[in-house]
């Protein structure tokens, strides 16, 4: 089966001039799909990969066994400097494992972190949460590195001049937190960041801060709670709005407003989750991504590379480390 959102997204991104795109996968299939889309004049190249990692594959096993998987071939292209970054809407664990091993980490980074952009109720404001799942057990120094990486991403990709950074905790007062966050709070208070201290779960959606730092266990729970609640709210609304004739008519009249509302909640507008801290750009899209999400992920990968985000991360981490000695 053809990976339609990926192909469509690549075509749209190439048409928009975001980047020169290399599609990695079964050569025959991809050539045929591109031809069917009249995309031969676009800057899209195909590199063959004979295997595919499935959503059911275990990350470490897939890495060892499927040496010619599209994820691994793409990562080799990045490692060898043939492309600047990779995008995948495949198995998140496998992409992270492959990227960490083949690309390696930046100078000063102990653990790469997965960042997710959340929409907020304040127009034009979004909040970056990291780590949303790359590192389950973290130390305070890792959270500090996540803060530096997230701040630069927010500045360079989301265009926020002086991002406000917060630490996810069970209350905003400085005495709140668990063992890990209390130690991280002390570190972050001394870091060269616009750090506002502890923030709460509700601050993920109200635009109070631009970057929120958490360990990958909490970050992942936070992400999935948000996704689950949005699904539940949608289902409940739909049920409520189909319960009577007048509410059905009401729904038809307000349909455009609902579409705008859903678009504001749609993470795909932000173009996937960057794995920060590896060499090269690595953007991981949700398994159910549409062409628009893939197109935006390609745009973000290009901006990531052109904005020299990784160089800035290495420089800031060196400064942060110097300021401690």
Find the binder of a copy of itself among 4, 35, 55, 221 (CB under 8 A).
Answer: 221
Least distance between a copy of itself and beta carbon 282 (Å): 20
Mode of pairing for the β-strands spanning 273-276 and 281-284: antiparallel
Residue 228 interacts with a copy of itself (CB under 8 A)?
A: yes
Cα atoms in the Cβ-side hemisphere of radius 13 Å centred on 123 = 1
**CA 70, 7, 17, 114 torsion-angle sign:** negative
Q: Are the C-beta atoms of residues 291 and 5 closer than 8 Å to each other?
A: yes
Residue 258 interacts with a copy of itself (CB under 8 A)?
A: yes
Span 147-176, contacts to a copy of itself by CB under 8 A: 168-171, 176
Residue 80 interacts with a copy of itself (CB under 8 A)?
A: no
Residue 246 interacts with a copy of itself (CB under 8 A)?
A: yes
Q: Residue 5 to residues 12, 23, 257, 294, 301: CA-CA distances in angstroms? A: 10, 12, 26, 7, 17
Find the binder of a copy of itself among 223, 283, 297, 313 (CB under 8 A).
Answer: 223
Q: Are the C-beta atoms of residues 301 and 91 closer than 8 Å to each other?
A: no
Between vectors from CA 273 to CA 295 and to CA 41, what angle results, nearest 5°? 20
Between vectors from CA 167 to CA 124 and to CA 205, what angle results, nearest 5°? 30
Nearer to a copy of itself, 36 or 236 (CB): 236
Q: Are the C-beta atoms of residues 4 and 283 closer than 8 Å to each other?
A: no
Least distance between a copy of itself and beta carbon 269 (Å): 14
Cα–chain center distance at 286 = 9
Find the binder of a copy of itself among 50, 189, 190, 243 (CB under 8 A).
Answer: 243
Residue 202 interacts with a copy of itself (CB under 8 A)?
A: yes
Residue 269 interacts with a copy of itself (CB under 8 A)?
A: no
Nearer to a copy of itself, 236 or 319 (CB): 236
Least distance between a copy of itself and beta carbon 263 (Å): 10
Which residues are at the interface with a copy of itself (CB under 8 A)? 119-121, 133, 136-137, 168-171, 176-179, 181, 200-206, 214-218, 220-233, 235-237, 240-241, 243-244, 246-247, 249-258, 260-261, 264-265
């Amino acid at each position: 089966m053809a990976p339609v959102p990926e192909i469509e997204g690549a075509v749209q991104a190439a048409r928009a001039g975001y980047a020169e795109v290399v599609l990695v996968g079964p050569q025959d299939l991809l050539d045929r799909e591109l031809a069917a889309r009249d995309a031969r004049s676009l800057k899209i190249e195909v590199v063959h990969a004979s295997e595919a990692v499935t959503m059911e594959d275990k990350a470490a096993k897939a890495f060892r066994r499927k040496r010619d998987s599209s994820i691994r071939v793409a990562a080799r292209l990045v490692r060898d400097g043939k492309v600047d970054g990779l995008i995948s809407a495949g198995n998140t664990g496998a992409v992270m494992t492959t990227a960490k091993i083949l690309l390696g980490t930046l100078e000063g980074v102990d653990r790469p972190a997965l960042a997710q952009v959340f929409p907020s109720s304040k127009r034009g404001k979004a909040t970056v949460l990291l780590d949303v799942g790359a590192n389950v057990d973290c130390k305070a120094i890792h959270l500090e590195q996540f803060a530096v990486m997230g701040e630069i991403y927010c500045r360079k990709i989301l265009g926020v001049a002086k991002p406000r950074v917060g630490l996810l905790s069970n209350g905003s007062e400085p005495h709140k937190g668990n063992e890990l966050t209390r130690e991280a709070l002390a570190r972050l208070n001394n870091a060269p960041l616009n750090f506002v201290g502890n923030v709460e779960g509700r601050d993920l959606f109200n635009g109070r801060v631009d970057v929120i730092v958490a360990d990958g266990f909490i970050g992942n729970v936070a992400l999935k709670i948000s996704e689950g609640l949005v699904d539940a709210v949608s289902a409940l609304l739909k049920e409520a709005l189909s319960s009577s004739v007048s509410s059905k008519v009401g729904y038809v009249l307000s349909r455009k407003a609902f579409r705008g509302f859903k678009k504001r909640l749609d993470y795909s507008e932000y173009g996937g989750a960057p794995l920060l801290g590896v060499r090269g750009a690595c953007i991981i899209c949700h398994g159910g991504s549409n062409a628009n999400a893939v197109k935006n992920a390609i745009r973000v990968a290009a901006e990531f590379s052109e904005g020299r985000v990784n160089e800035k991360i290495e420089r800031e981490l060196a400064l942060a480390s110097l300021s401690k000695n």
